[in-house]
Amino acid sequence: DIQMTQSPSSLSASVGDRVTITCRASQGISNSLAWYQQKPGKAPKLLLYAASRLESGVPSRFSGSGSGTDYTLTISSLQPEDFATYYCQQYSGTPYTFGQGTKLEI
């Protein structure tokens, strides 16, 4: 299985801050990476796929980059609604695997 390691596990930030979350795969995944946002009691919501492609309707303050084994999610200017838990997921091969999550707190 491909292991996905996210860092940090939690992050405190303020409205307006720029934040970056990192996801490292245990082997190369050729940009087959998605990022999700999850709020308490809700299903995950797709933000980006193919490492850097923004899902329709997702604000442009969210961006992704990376290649090989290392990927990042950046939120350029935090808004109040962005405080949530973020997960990366590789879909390079089954079993699809998720990072352990990054909880973004005020």
Partner 1 sequence: QVQLQESGPGLVKPSGTLSLTCAVSSGSIISSNWWSWVRQPPGKGLEWIGEIYHSGSTNYNPSLKSRVTISVDKSKNQFSLKLTSVTAADTAVYYCARDGSSPYYYMDVWGKGTTVTVS
Question: 87: closest CA among 27, 23, 11?
Answer: 23
Counting contacts by CB under 8 A, is residue 49 touching partner 1?
yes
Length of the chain as a residue count: 106
Counting contacts by CB under 8 A, is residue 86 touching partner 1?
no
Q: Which of 11, 45, 52, 65 binds partner 1 (CB under 8 A)?
A: 45
Token pair of 33 as six digits: 């990476």
Pattern of binders to partner 1 over 50-79, x per CB under 8 A?
Answer: x----x------------------------
Residue 78 Cβ, how far from partner 1 at the closest point, in Å? Answer: 22
The site that binds partner 1 (CB under 8 A) totals a number of residues, namely 23
Where are the strands (E) in the chain, listed by range?
4-7, 10-12, 19-25, 33-38, 45-49, 53-54, 62-67, 70-75, 85-90, 97-98, 102-105
For the sheet with 4-7, list strands across it: 4-7, 19-25, 70-75, 62-67
The region of 18-26, 38-46, 61-69, 73-81 touching partner 1 under the rule CB under 8 A is 38-46
Residue ranges in contact with partner 1 by CB under 8 A: 1, 32, 34, 36, 42-46, 49-50, 55, 87, 89, 91, 94-101
